[in-house]
Amino acid sequence: MRVGIGYDSHRFAPDRPLILGGVEIPYDQGLDGWSDADAVAHALTDAILGAAGLGDIGQMFPSDDPRFHNADSLELLRRASMKAAEARCSLVHADITVICERPKIGPYADEMRERLAQAALAGYSNISIKAKTNEGMGFIGRGEGIAVIAVVLMDEAETARKSRSR
Ligand code: MG
For 22-33, write each residue's pLDDT tens digit. Answer: 999 999 999 999
Whole-prediction pTM: 0.95
Query: What is the CA(65)–ligand 1 centre distance, in A?
Result: 14
Query: What is the CA(45)–ligand 1 centre distance, in A?
Result: 10
Residue 89: CB atoms within 10 Å: 25
Taking phi over 0 as left and psi of -120 to 50 as alpha, with beta for the rest, 12 belongs to: beta
The Cα angle at residue 110 between residues 130 and 106, in degrees rounded to 5:
45
Query: What is the CA(70)–ligand 1 centre distance, in A?
Result: 12
Query: What is the CA(8)–ligand 1 centre distance, in A?
Result: 5
Is residue 165 very low, low, confident or very high in pLDDT (cuts 50, 70, 90)? low
Question: Is residue 1's pLDDT more than 70?
Answer: yes
The Cα angle at residue 155 between residues 81 and 132, in degrees rounded to 5:
70
In DSSP terms, 153 is beta-bridged to 3, 93
- How many structural domains is the chain composed of? 1
Which of the 8 DSSP states describes residue 39? H
Give the CATH number, domain containing residue 92.
Answer: 3.30.1330.50
Q: Assess contact for 64 and 135: CB atoms under 8 A.
A: no
Query: What is the CA(34)–ligand 1 centre distance, in A?
Result: 8
pLDDT, tens only, 77-135: 999 999 999 999 999 999 999 999 999 999 999 999 999 999 999 999 999 999 999 99
Query: What is the CA(61)–ligand 1 centre distance, in A?
Result: 11
Q: Long-range CB contacts (< 8 A, 24+ apart) of 102-105?
A: 102/27, 102/143, 103/18, 103/25, 103/26, 103/27, 104/131, 105/20, 105/25, 105/129, 105/131
Please tell me which residue, 106 or 70, carries the higher pLDDT value.
Answer: 106
Average pLDDT over residues 29-44: 96
Q: Which domain holds residue 50?
A: 2-164
